Amino acid sequence: MTTFTDEKQISIQQAFVSFILMFEKTSEEEEIQIIIQYWIRILEIKLGWINDFDKLVVKYVSFCFCFYDKYFFAAATVFMLDMFRSSSKLLNTFDGHTSSVWSIDYSTFDNSYLLCSGSHDKTVRVWDVETGKQIQLFNGHLDHVYCVRFSPYHYHNNRHNVICSSSWDKTIRFWDNKDNQQLKVFRGHTNGVYGIEFSPFNGGRYLCSGSIDYTIRLWDVEASKSLYVFKGHEDGVWCMDISPLQSNNNNNSNSIGVIGGNGYTICSGSWDNTIRIWDIETTKQLIIFRGHDDWIRSVKYGSNELVISGGANTILSGSNDKSARLWDIRSGQQTQIFNGHAGYVNVVEYSPFMVNNIEVGGSSNVICSGSSDNTIRFWDIRSNKNELYMIKGEEGDSGIICLKFLQLKKSCKSINDRGCDINLCYGSSKCQIRVWG
């Protein structure tokens, strides 16, 4: 006997088949409108809203996006935490570093899945994610390497795979992965350099750095020079992030300004226990967030894609006070505090996962935090209750220092396959890099 639920599931399958076929005849400019209109028309009017819709159709969406390669990364927006929690396990360990791994970053250069890492052992290393093999080693820094980032500027302009790294030796260095050589060195900070981030505008032409000299600097990568110095912190600057374009700005206003960064801000976390917001064009300090009781270890802007209202106006932070916190830029207030860790919160991230939240009657984004207590914990962004899920690091890890979500393709053999996989990679205090998925 066919039930009403069965009929809905069959209708959903038929809807997705039609959805896939539609893209064979459309241009890229039409795709976003098609997606919006199609989901509204098919899923709300024809079927009626299904409370457990995300659970019912996630496997079909995953298959669809995997089958059509150019839509692969969009699949992450519908992944539910329950899927990851029920099936995830330790997949691989990258061995090579001889001391703490402070930073990792991820790239898909020329269809190769690469990871770069910076360590207390003074080296920068590059790894093939799929094989776990180390493919490059850079040892030009004279002291600990605290942050690494793949350079979007060199990728967009020269199709070169270049890694940028910051160090306690007061320098920022650029490395050519293909030719195994140092390209350039930025000098200007008068003490160790910690966090670095590339601009999301102008193809990553600008680089932001934070230092123990209490300052933040903005660099022009193309001209190889320091442009601005942001002063105001009363102790070392450990971490920073650059905002996505605020939703109340448009592309035209973004082109205004000395560096084309109108509407963008920098957020920084410091040993002075504060988080500060700066205008990237004027260097003016806009907001100071106070609330953490110890050093700020990690800060991350939200995005316009978050379910919560004004997602790009939120900041997530982690601190030595063992808490993760959420802040609202518009009100200048703390909105959530996530307690549960027994050690420093070294890193925070907005995860690609969603979770059903009965209290708000819909889905919520999931954030995660990595700690010196050797755990990674997942939290509902709209609730400060106990964590949703916890990953315990391996016995010898002695703490989680950094983490990154990776999206890897898998072959799609049937519609029952998950099709696309999200893995979690973390760096530990005891030199290993591990991948969960």
- Residue 254: the pLDDT is 47
Joined together, the tokens standing for residue 81 give 């935490």
Each residue's pLDDT tens digit, 417-428: 443 579 999 999
Inform me whether the pLDDT recorded for 78 exceeds 60: no
Looking at residue 385, its pLDDT comes to 80
Q: What is the pLDDT of residues 267-326, one digit of tens each?
A: 999 999 999 999 999 999 999 999 999 999 999 999 877 766 567 789 999 999 999 999
pLDDT band (50, 70, 90) for residue 359: confident
Between 401 and 160, the higher pLDDT residue:
401
Confidence (pLDDT) at 77: 46
Q: State percent of the chain over pLDDT 90.
A: 62
> How far is the C-alpha of 325 from the C-alpha of 435, rounded, in Å?
26
pLDDT of residue 263: 84
Please give the residue that has the higher pLDDT: either 229 or 50.
229
pLDDT at 30: 52
Q: Which tens digits make up the pLDDT trace of 329-349?
A: 999 999 999 999 999 999 999
Whole-angstrom Cα Rg for the chain: 22
Confidence at residue 322, expressed as pLDDT on a 0 to 100 scale: 98
pLDDT in tens, 88-99: 999 999 999 999
Give the pLDDT band (50/70/90) at residue 357: confident
Across all residues in the chain, what is the average pLDDT?
82
Domains of the chain by start residue, with CATH: 4-70 (no CATH), 85-436 (2.130.10.10)
Q: What is the pLDDT of residues 188-224, one digit of tens each?
A: 999 999 999 999 989 999 999 999 999 999 999 999 9
Q: Is the per-residue pLDDT at 112 higher than 80?
A: yes
pLDDT at res. 260 = 66
- When mean pLDDT is compared across 48-62, 124-138, 140-154, 377-391, the lowest value belongs to 48-62
Higher pLDDT among residues 62 and 87, named by residue: 87
Whole-number Å distance between alpha carbons of 153 and 162: 9
Rounded to whole angstroms, how far apart are CA atoms 279 and 330?
14
Q: Which of 127-136, 168-177, 244-253, 280-289 has the lowest mean pLDDT?
A: 244-253
pLDDT at 310: 62
pLDDT at 54 over 60: no
Q: What is the pLDDT of residues 225-269, one digit of tens each?
A: 999 999 999 999 999 999 986 544 444 444 546 676 788 999 999
pLDDT value at 41 more than 70: no
Which pTM value belongs to this model? 0.80
Q: Please give the pLDDT value at position 362.
A: 74
Is residue 40 scored above 60 in pLDDT? no
At 67 the pLDDT is: 34
